[in-house]
Amino acid sequence: MPSSGPFGVLLDIDGVLYVGDEPIKGAHEAFSELRELSAGVRLVTNTTSRSRRDVFEHLATLGFDVTLDEVLTPAAMAVRHCRERGYGSVSVLVSERLREDLASLEPVAPGQPADAVVLGDLGEGFTAEVLNGAFRLLMDGAELVALQHNRYWRRTDGLALDVGAYSAALEYASGQEAVVVGKPAEEFFLAAMADMGLERAVMVGDDAEADVGGAMTAGLPGVLVRTGKYREDAVMARVTPTAIVDSIGDVPSLLARILPE
């Protein structure tokens, strides 16, 4: 990454701007400030339970001034990956609300082999039968494409298993390593910067591995916020962030230090 020049800001959404229907205190002001200070903003979410349009509309409902184009999700990256590989039939295991973002992929016919299994979050739909179906396709040669590899996320009622946990089960059984298209994949961060037309950016997130670790691997400074799913033990064990702050409210004043002119 160049050491000077215009920079963009990549923001994780859930746990950084809001938790559920509750905006994080000070997030609106900080978001406006970051817009002013930077040359571009992208909202980079790993969500697998909402479509890009749903995410955009939720942000707008909670008073964040964003456009649909500024929201980037792993589903778009999965479509890109399957197209690049020339996959003709794909088993898409994603929530109903995410289907519109993957509608351009050809669904596998029942009982037929698939080129890939695209794994999102089925929530309660992750039954033994569904997981077995995916497992059999993998054993017959399908590639496992995980929308993301998060271990868990914070729902309003508490922590819950995320796609990574189910993906890990399928990896373990099939002996195949998943291709991860969302965070922490380096390509996801590079695509977000390319989308802004910028070569410098900072990433802000509440997930030490997916947000901060992933960004740092891609050569970006990674700022961890102590909101959302933040847990001290998770940080110290695996990632050393560029900075750790109480919330997004502290990020504007931090920029001059971590992204010098």
Measured distance CA(197)–CA(60) in Å, rounded: 24
Question: Is 66 or 90 the residue whose CB approaches Mg ion more closely?
Answer: 66
**What residue number has its CB nearest to Mg ion?**
15
Measured distance CA(90)–CA(83) in Å, rounded: 11
Binding segment toward Mg ion, per CB under 5 A, in 58-66, 82-90, 118-126, 205-213: 205-213
> What angle do helix axes 27-37 and 251-258 make, rounded to 10 degrees?
30
Question: Tokens representing 261?
Answer: 């002119």
Report 146-175 residues binding Mg ion (CB under 5 A).
none
Question: Is 64 or 87 the residue whose CB approaches Mg ion more closely?
Answer: 64
Q: What is the H or E stretch that residue 11 is in? A: strand 8-11
Of 7, 8, 11, 12, the one binding Mg ion by CB under 5 A: 12
Binding segment toward Mg ion, per CB under 5 A, in 30-38, 136-144, 154-162, 201-209: 201-209
Q: What is the H or E stretch that residue 238 is in? A: helix 232-238
Residue 206 is a binding residue for Mg ion (CB under 5 A): yes
Binding segment toward Mg ion, per CB under 5 A, in 29-37, 99-107, 111-119, 198-206: 198-206
Contacts of 76 (CB under 8 A, 6+ apart): 52, 101
Question: Is 14 or 115 the residue whose CB approaches Mg ion more closely?
Answer: 14
Question: Tokens representing 45?
Answer: 């979410």
Residue 14 is a binding residue for Mg ion (CB under 5 A): yes
Phi, psi of 244 (to 5 degrees): -125, 125
Residues 15-54, mask of contacts with Mg ion (x by CB under 5 A):
x---------------------------------------
Q: Give the interface with Mg ion as residue ranges (CB under 5 A).
A: 12, 14-15, 206
